[in-house]
Structure 1
Amino acid sequence: MNLSTFSKTSIAALIFSSASSFATVVEFTTSQGNFKVNLHDETTPETVANFLKYINDGDYNNTVVHRLVPEFVMQAGGFEFTGDFPLNPIATNSAVINEPVYSNVRGTIAMAKVANDENSATSQWFVNLSDNSGGAASLDTQNGGFTVFGEIIEGMDNIDNMADLFLCSDIPMPDYNAAQCSDSSFVPGVENFVTIETVTIFDATVNTADSLAAVENTSLTPPTTTPPVVTEPTNSSSGGGSFAWFSLLFASLLTLRRRFK
């Protein structure tokens, strides 16, 4: 059954029909340590339903962290390493409606999307490493606001440690160095990437919403808690994107392709 015959709204309704304050907890198993996320099922239902579909379909398994900017974001959910460059984009579903209810403060997980299209998020997600709500990042207002749909409740230290890894064109690469990054004849192995090995539902029955301390996004004027329905963007098959992902990410990947091939 796909989303064309069974709406994401219906999926969301089933997800939290058992409790009025239901909040799914999912666990990420990675090559650099695990972390858990408590999802905002009720307040960002479309986004959570979209995210859980990727999890249940196994789409996030064996993907890689393809972008990390220290003191900004760690981004994944869009690509896998299959032995060569460029990284291989995963298949994506239709774009999901924007739900900018919460603020992009440190330790939150949010959806990435295409620049200048607030309703274009598909598979890619990011963790805020700092308070990115305002200032230069302004993720609470930029591009209609980025949808925060959960909070890291365990393992944020493992995510912070990823920021200490060597970065090759914004890609965190363990046991790698500048000479290898610039050597066009050197091909990395899977051990040289931060791999999201599995993402599983850790707790789908316990009422966990009351323990969250989400910060509301009050920066949007007027609030866009009920944004219009959007059709699938023409480039959604490439994976959702970062804040300016089409230019930033693929420039990095093309550079890596030249270096490693």
Structure 2
Amino acid sequence: MRKLALLFAVLASPALATTLQIDVQGQANGRITIDLLDDVAPAHVARITQLARAGAYDNVVFHRVIPGFMAQTGDVEFGKLGSDMRLAGRSGSDKPDLKAEFSDIPFERGVVGMARSNDPDSANSQFFIMFASKPHLNGQYTVVGRVTDGMDVVDAIKKGQGESGAVIGAPDVMTKVTVGD
């Protein structure tokens, strides 16, 4: 009877969410907390947590920031602070690309999605955080999480220029990215 009660208590308790904590320095300074949606995009969340735990995201810049749209980061090959910033955003990690995990979650302010090329199955390590709702992205990109704290930090990230949103000069950087349960 005691084992049954314990099993019921475990099943009745809410699952612990995986969180991503991003410390940002530059024009923006502070911490962004993201609840990762393990149940929506398990392969993508597994990749992000794997790279974060390995320290791959530490000192990676926000290389593409479009006002009123999104801030993009996560190029662990070419996006490290001190690298040639002209190459930032052109790569990912040494791991294989991921098959898309589309959902019906809308791309609204604070939603985190995986960046990719024209191929829907080309997401790897890069991700973006939405400044505003952009319904044209719905069902076209994999949603991996939501900002739960630090949206003021996201809003302060140095904006890029032109249609591409390329950041000129010193970009903001994710100094430390950690995973918590």
The bucket for the TM-score relative to the shorter chain is: 0.7 to 0.9
Q: Determine whether 1:68 maps to 2:95.
A: no
- In the alignment, the residues of structure 2 paired with residue 166 and residue 23 of structure 1 have an alpha-carbon distance, to the nearest angstrom, of 30
Distance 1:107 1:23, change over 3 A: same
Alignment coverage as a number of residue pairs:
158
Q: Which residue of 1 aligns with 2:137?
A: 139
Give how far 1:92 is off. 3.2
Letter in 1 for 2:73: A
Q: Tell me, yes or no, if structure 1 residue 114 matches structure 2 residue 117.
A: yes
* CA separation of 1:44 and 1:20: change in aligned 2, threshold 3 A: farther
Higher percent of residues as strand: 2
Give 1:113 shift: 0.4
Larger Rg: 1
Superposition deviation, residue 90 in structure 1: 5.5
CA distance in 1, matches of 2:40, 2:126: 20
How far did residue 21 of structure 1 move?
2.8
| Runs of 4+ in structure 1 over 6 Å off | none
Please report how far the alpha carbon of residue 106 of structure 1 lies from its aligned counterpart in structure 2 after TM superposition. Answer: 1.1
CA deviations over 1:74-95 (Å, ceiling 9, x no partner) = 0000112325453455633111
The 1-side partners of 2:127 and 2:83 are apart by 23
Partner of 2:160: 167
TM-score normalised by the chain length of structure 2: 0.79
Aligned equivalents of 1:111, 1:166: Cα separation in 2? 19
Deviation of 1:57 (Å): 1.5
Aligned to 2:8: none
Please show how residues 40-189 of structure 1 align to structure 2 within 5 Å.
40-78=37-75, 79-82=79-82, 84-87=84-87, 91-101=93-103, 102-115=105-118, 117-133=119-135, 138-141=136-139, 145-162=140-157, 165=158, 167-168=160-161, 170-172=165-167
Decide whether aligned partners of structure 1 residues 61 and 122 sit closer, same or farther in structure 2, where only a CA change above 3 A counts: same
Structure 2, unaligned runs of 5 or more: 1-12
> 1:111·1:121 contact (CA, 8 Å) conserved in 2?
yes
CA distance, structure 1, for counterparts of residue 92 and residue 113 of structure 2: 18
Instruction: Give how far 1:109 is off.
Output: 0.5
Sequence identity (%): 26
Gaps of 5+ in 1: 1-18, 174-187, 205-261
Paired with 1:41 and 1:197, the residues of 2 have a C-alpha distance of 24
What letter corresponds to residue 145 of structure 2 in structure 1? G
